[in-house]
Chain A
Amino acid sequence: MEKIDREEYKRDLFARLKDSLGLKREEECFGACLGDASWWILDNPTYTAQELKSAVAQTCVLQKHQRSKTSRPAKPLCLKSVAQTIKRARRTKRPETFVCPGLRHGFVYPIIQGDTIYGFIGVCYTKRDISARILGVFASFTDTVVREVQKEMELAKLYETIRPRAIALSTIHTLHRLLTSTLDLNELLPRIARLSLQVVRANRCSIKLLDSKRKVLLPKATVDMRERKTTLKKVRVGKWAPGRAAKFSRPVRGDRYLAVPLIDEDVIGVITVYDKIDNSRFNSFDQEIMTTLAEQAVIAIKNAQLYKEQERLTLGGIKSLAMVLRSRANGASVAPHASYLKIATMVGHMLHLNGQEIRNLEYAVLLHDAGQIVIPDEVLRKPEKLTIEEYDLVKEHPLRSVDIIRPIKALRSVIPILFHHHENYDGTGYPKKLRDGQIPIGARIMAVVGAFEAMVTRRAYRPAMSIDGAIEEIRLQSSKQFDPKVVEAFLKVIARRDIFSAVKKECYESQ
């Protein structure tokens, strides 16, 4: 193997030397003192006279001296002298001179480093005899050129070695950024699958997360580039490639599959890729890059799981707070109605709100009347018409809601919804009398859902309105009190049988 490498190196060096600018410069420089000589370069010292003729002719690049109008073909008689001198130079490993039968002078210079001869440079048809001094300068110049070419080769090799690694490293860096940019598991897992397929150029990827109690891997995301229908199968730990990867906490590789465990402290799941696009086998490079990707994926998955858990805790806390506040208003501890939460989120999705905006909307639905806690009981439960002062007090509740929520940093982005959910689309609402687009979209949705909830709920000063009556009222207030786009989406949502039934059931239970 080493011998093959050495031969390859010799061939490469010779090829580069032949085309090097350095050697052309050398020819130009020495042309001044050697006259209009013929230059050639050979790699194989064991040519026959015929082969030598052909080889010399092929390296005529050097022979075409700038000042020479025609390329001078090597003469057979001269070739004999050249062949003999090459043999001599090969033996002595030193430059050797010769004189042709035509009394022309020349020399053969072995390109040598240590004991290795990389080729020979020949010069013939020189004007005069070549002195040892000229040969010395020639040797030094050539040596510099050879070292220059060797440096160039080293750089090229370094470039060839480092560049793919640098590109791979850059890929890993990009993967890290792409994976850690989302905290939504539903978005993250398919993204991991697609990126895995990309880096190993495979057709199918499946991500399974471990249910450690049941010792089973549950399928969470599968992507198939061939658009085949794939069934999501559970896999027992220890069974099949993913099961074995989970059991032994190490990658399991076959010709057509590669299963890599997702390891935090323990195994939390397995990424498996199947069938390379070019039908080749999975190799150690694939395993290496998938292992690195899995390490990045674990961090992203754990972050997303923690975020989900924290979000669950926040929502739980808000629900409890909402229950307390509602009990104050209703005189009983009741949970906020799930159907209004669902209506609000569905309307939000229909109006293309993003994940964070939807979450804010959920929190707002739960807390929209939190500020009513500061309104005295006698006002809240007054069966008669409120006085102007009392109504002014009621109108302060969005501001009071904001005061209650403000210390909770996680709920800061809910504040605009709470503050503006009593603004009307036509600018007649409160507290700021904003109109249409000035009102935050979350507040416009909250206004419709909140009004609907208020209408179908019994109050001290009036009975509950029927669901159909409330829907009709919402419809009538489109473009007046409410944003018409929100009303349109709301009407579509409430028209769904499951939603209508849920609202009806909840209204009946709260009567």
Chain B
Amino acid sequence: MNLNEIIASDTHRKIILFFNENQSSIDTAKGVSTWIREERPKVKKALEDLVALNILNAYRATSTTGYSYTTDKKLISKIDKLLKK
């Protein structure tokens, strides 16, 4: 999936919007699914897609994985433009 395809997907877009609005947030799949009101398995898969595209960072621990927004300024600005479209 590329960035345009990702943005077109509802769940991916909701996740990106959530992290774009809350850039300091670090949350689990369970937490994110609560904030964006989507099913957890769907969210979990979408989160991993976004990690693969470096839009999100994953902090993997034995008991959980925390996800956070990229710190890449160029990527953030690119995402901002796509979200405004």
Contacts and interface: CB of A to CB of B under 8 A. Distances in A.
A201 B23 contact: yes
A201 B59 contact: no
B61 A181 contact: yes
Interface string B39-78: 0000000000000000001010111101010010100000
A167 B18 CA distance: 10
Interface stretch (A192-200, A256-264, A363-371): A192-200
A177 B24 CA distance: 17
A178 B59 contact: yes
B78 to A, nearest CB: 15
A277 B61 contact: no
A289 B62 CA distance: 24
A277 B66 contact: no
A174 interface: yes
Nearest to B18: A167
B66 to A, nearest CB: 5
Given A177-B64, A178-B64, A178-B66, A289 B24 contact: yes
A181 B71 contact: no
A325 B26 CA distance: 51
Nearest to B63: A181
Interface string A174-214: 11011001100000000100110111110000000000000
A174 B24 contact: no
Contacts of A167: 22, 25, 27, 35
A201 B66 contact: no
Interface residues of A, number: 24
Nearest to B57: A198
B25 A177 contact: no
Interface residues of B, number: 20
Given A170-B25, A171-B24, A177 B31 contact: no
Given A182-B61, A198-B71, A225-B71, A170 B66 contact: no
A328 B73 CA distance: 66
A155 to B, nearest CB: 16
B11 interface: no
Nearest to B32: A170
Contacts, number: 63
A401 to B, nearest CB: 30
Given A181-B61, A195-B59, A174 B26 contact: yes
Nearest to A172: B26
A150 B34 CA distance: 27
Nearest to A277: B71
Of A174, A177, A201, most buried by chain B (CB within 10 Å of CB) is A174
Given A197-B71, A201-B71, A277-B73, A181 B27 contact: no
Nearest to B24: A199
A170 B64 CA distance: 13
A164 interface: yes
Given A198-B71, A201-B23, A170 B31 contact: yes
Interface in A130-178: 164, 167-168, 170-171, 173-175, 177-178
A175 B26 CA distance: 7
Contact of A170 (B27, B61, B63): B27
B64 A201 contact: no
A456 B62 CA distance: 41
B69 to A, nearest CB: 8
B18 to A, nearest CB: 9
Contacts of A200: 24
Of B22, B57, B61, B62, most buried by chain A (CB within 10 Å of CB) is B61
A171 B27 contact: yes
Nearest to A279: B73
B30 to A, nearest CB: 9
Contacts of B64: 174, 177-178, 181
Contacts of B63: 177, 181
Q: What 3 pairs across the A-B complex have the smallest Cβ distances?
A: A181-B61, A174-B66, A198-B68
25 contacts: A164-B22, A167-B22, A170-B31, A170-B35, A171-B26, A171-B27, A173-B31, A174-B26, A174-B27, A175-B26, A177-B28, A177-B64, A178-B59, A178-B66, A182-B61, A191-B59, A195-B26, A195-B59, A197-B71, A198-B68, A198-B71, A200-B24, A201-B23, A201-B24, A277-B71
